[in-house]
Amino acid sequence: MEDGLETNLNNPHEMLATQGREIGDFAKPRSIAIIMYTGNVPGPDTYRELASGVLIRIQDKHFILTAGHCIKTIRRNHYTIILPIANYRTVFSPKILNSNYKSGNGCDWGYIEVTRQDAVLMESYKCVLMNLDRVQVIERSDTSLGIDSFILSGYPRELVRVNNKGISCQFAHFSTKTSQSEKVPSSPIRSGGKGVHVFDLVFPLDMAFNNVNGSNEKSFIPEFSGASGGGCWKANLYSDQKSWDISKLRLVGTHQGSWSKTEVIDGSPHVSAREVSLGHHLSLIANDYIDLGTEIIERWPHIMNFRPK
């Protein structure tokens, strides 16, 4: 094993702690808070639910990728959604061109297609819609060795304030030590069976970074409620922390859920979370959009493996 790598595998969150601002500066403009409300006037009386999502562009289409149960909630309750932008001081309600999702029986992924006009508006406020070059499709078995570091980004409910003055959102990201190693506790969340690729992560409770007024402040992880649909990023570990390269960060999934029991691992408290591979979101889009599906399948011929059996 490469010199020093074993130490970083045991303590990657310590290495990544030195990169909090860099990670936040990269992930924040690619992430979005999805605030659900009733009626046409957003405010404390009409606010109902909160979710997170990531932004992506595929050819001439523009999507918010998120958890399936979040889209199910929007459609079932006929909620209107607003997206806070411009450092989360400005909000607007995008036009939803199309949406689709899978939710239940261990499945939990989906997408919302927005108009080009709304995408341009988001980009004018320095939001970034990624292309597929920033995506890595991984299967459950790809995380079995636990040799990668993962970062979860999103908008936990504790970091959102809704009052008569408007809506204030704070961005947070968290890093995890390993995935699917022998130290990760078993998940109580149903896996979905064959054809569903999920992976479980553990997060040190003291490894969160809140983005407040443009600064990344280290803090303790809040409740994950509201972070559903947030981006799960994969980063390679390096023996020398100075070798960190933000260009190698890849979006690999979205956040599905977590369980409340705190586990003590290597003497420190951790919380566990379930992530779902982005291959499922892309498989759903490929099935719904023939032209986009051609490109997706050419990039990842095994994308057909991401359909529940």
Domain ranges in the chain? Answer: 5-28+134-280, 31-131
Single-letter amino acid code for the residue at 215 = S
Which tokens hold the place of 196? 């569903």
- Output the pLDDT for position 206: 80
pLDDT band at 291 (very low <50, low <70, confident <90, very high): very high
The pTM of the full predicted model, rounded to 2 decimals, is 0.90
Distance CA(281)–CA(190), nearest Å, equals 18
CB atoms within 10 A of CB 7: 12
Give the model's confidence band at 86: pLDDT under 50 very low, under 70 low, under 90 confident, else very high.
low
Residue at 145: amino acid letter = L
Pick the closest to residue 8 from 159, 141, 178, 145 (CA basis). 178
Residues ≥6 apart with Cβ < 8 Å to 243: none
What does the pLDDT read at residue 239?
A: 52
Q: Give SS3 for 184.
A: coil
* Closest of 73, 130, 66 to residue 284, by C-alpha: 66
Fold for domain 31-131?
Answer: Thrombin, subunit H (2.40.10)
Under 8 Å between Cβ of 31 and 259:
no
In the DSSP assignment, the letter for residue 61 is: E
Q: Look at the alpha carbons of 221, 222, 223, 229 in this order and tell me if their dihedral is positive or negative.
A: negative
pLDDT at 271 (0 to 100)? 86
